[in-house]
Amino acid sequence: MPPNFLHIFHSRSKLITLIHIQRISYRMASSSPNTSKRKALEKSISPPPLKRKAQSTISKGAVASFFTPTSQKPKERTIWTERAPDDDTPPTLLVGRYEPEKMEESDRRKRRKIAAFDLDSTLITTASGKRFGDDPGDWKWWDSSVPSRLRELYAKDYRIIILSNQGGLTIHPDPKSKGPKTVNKNKVNNFKQKCGAILAQLNLPTTIYAATGRDIFRKPRTGMWMEVCQDYDIPEDEIDLADSIFVGDAGGRTAQLKNTQTGAAAVAKDFSCSDRNFSHNVGIPYKTPEEFFLGEPPREFARDFDLTSYPLSESNDNGEILLEKTHKQDIILFCGPPGAGKSTFYWRHLKPLNYERVNQDTLKSRAKCFKTAAELLGEGNSIVIDNTNPDADGRKEWVDFAKKHNVPIRCIWFKVPKALCEHNDIVRALNKPMNPEARAALPGLAFNGYFSRFKEPKVKEGFEDIVEVEFKFRGTKEEYAIWGRYWS
């Protein structure tokens, strides 16, 4: 064996032996008393606290839904659209149409009997007991029988419709408004979620109409009913009105005191009569939820304004003489609330007698009214002061004005109740043919303000005479077809 090889061999053997010795020494050191003591000390030290796993608010279903292809996700059964009362106004009507996953051929045919229902306090109520629920899940059926009754009606060939006034919602906030716009958006989204859940539980081909404005869509006005007829392609004159029905809680029912003999609890009056009046306008029978779902007998009801008190006159009153001109030149002062028919009276009865009109709504200030009146008198005209003039102090200014210009002054007092005035105002505002001056609807404050200040006019205030005019519809049959409905 060559010397170099032997040298390498011995060197390698020594290296292996050295490594083996080191391994034995390490094992012995590991089993030494000092090492065992150190291990015992290490075991007595508390381990560091485990990190808690973060709790996620995202459900497994939501995660799965996120990764599920759109084509495989369940289809939203309620489709929402928006409607506007006219081309110049933003949408105020929310329409949600629900179609079940399985639609039979019978579901698509025309149904000429309509069962229409209000929503709140008729089909549902809040689960929390609150008057109005903010949470989309805060609802329950008004009575356990509601779903089954609606399904029975559908099986009897009725079209199920929900018509609801939702004045607390705003579809498109006014851009000039300083209020938070996200709140309104959240309210609308919550309402849609709630309605989607209601319609899904019912699971019938159903449409809900929600009127958010104070326009033609709001009950008792018939705008929503007209949308129903158009959506389902049923002309209004082809609906089976006699067998159709509307159920709602706003029936104008009067309050009932507690009956100590029978034990019946006291019952508050209804907040309005809008649902009963809507049924009257459409021409279908009306029932309250208690009558329809629970079989209770009808309660007494009352209307603030009753159309039966103002029928269409059989005679044509357009040619009747309500006032004769007794002087070559004089002043006539109107006294009456907004909506009493003062301007209509002027155009039909005083303009033909060559009276010129002074009106603060058009002139914008009382000072301009006095200035214009003086100019007209200076030109030799007789004039009509077409303002409300509710109190004696305001009327005195015109009496003094007449004395200053040495002309007699007469007063026409329009004795019209508040509810009738509000009716006239809405009819005028929402019907262009009856609103030549394009006046907007007045707030309730305008009527309350007049009647709180009103003092009956007296001759002793300085008038030559006072002519009292009570309201009587004076118009054509076509105009009465519009006026002779409930509008508020």
Cβ-count burial of 484 within 10 angstroms (0-12 exposed, 13-18 middle, 19+ buried)? middle
pLDDT for the residue 37: 39
As averages over each run of 10 residues, the pLDDT of the chain (488 residues) reads 44 47 45 41 45 42 49 75 93 96 82 97 95 89 98 96 96 70 80 96 96 97 97 94 98 90 85 97 98 97 94 65 86 97 92 95 94 97 97 97 97 96 95 87 94 97 96 88 94
Contact 130, 155 (CB under 8 A): no
Contact 486, 280 (CB under 8 A): yes
- Residue 292, H or E segment: helix 289-294
| Preceding peptide of 289 cis, ω within 30° | no
Instruction: Choose among 289, 298, 251: nearest CA to 271.
Output: 251
CA distances from 237 to 117, 159, 221, 282 (A): 21, 16, 18, 11
Q: What are the tokens at 283?
A: 């021409």
**What is the model's pTM?**
0.79
pLDDT for the residue 63: 44
Using DSSP's 3-state secondary structure scheme, residue 289 falls into: helix
> What is the rounded distance in angstroms from the CA atom of residue 355 to the CA atom of residue 392?
24
> What is the rounded distance in angstroms from the CA atom of residue 275 to the CA atom of residue 246?
8
Q: What are the tokens at 249?
A: 């809680």
Report all structural domains of the chain as residue ranges with CATH numbers, in order of start: 78-303 (3.40.50.1000), 317-483 (3.40.50.300)
> What is the rounded distance in angstroms from the CA atom of residue 323 to the CA atom of residue 349?
7
Contacts of 243 by beta carbon, 8 Å cutoff, 6+ apart: 113
Instruction: Choose among 472, 356, 337, 469: nearest CA to 412.
Output: 469
